[in-house]
Amino acid sequence: MATPQNTPPKNCPACGASVPANATQCPECGAALPPKSKNWFRNLTPTEIFLMVIGLIMLSIGLVAV
């Protein structure tokens, strides 16, 4: 499995050239690369999940109290 320090290069969907992992467009043809994965929640730590739940509860209580 690739770690953030050892991310493999991507390939451009338009021309097939090797593209650095953090690039937003192809350096060869200039085509825009697709955005990163939408599964951002899979990388959350338990602390971040706890804080999101607490924030949601506080927001719900605030909306009900009005």
pLDDT, one tens digit per residue, over 9-47 is 788 888 989 998 888 889 999 988 887 767 777 888 999
For every residue of 23-56, DSSP letters joined together read -SB-TTT-PBPPPPPS-GGGG--HHHHHHHHHHH
Query: 17 and 11 in contact (C-beta within 8 Å)?
Result: yes
pLDDT at 13: 86
Please tell me the total count of domains within the chain.
1
**In-domain check, residue 27:** yes
pLDDT of amino acid 7: 63
Could you tell me how far CA 33 lies from the centroid of its own chain? 14
**pLDDT, average across residues 57-64:** 88
Q: What is the maximum alpha-carbon separation in the chain?
A: 56
Per the domain annotation, does 63 fall within a domain? no
Domain that holds residue 11: 1-35
58 domain residue, yes or no: no
How many Cβ atoms sit within 10 Å of the Cβ of residue 12?
A: 19
- Name residue, tokens 């949601």: 56
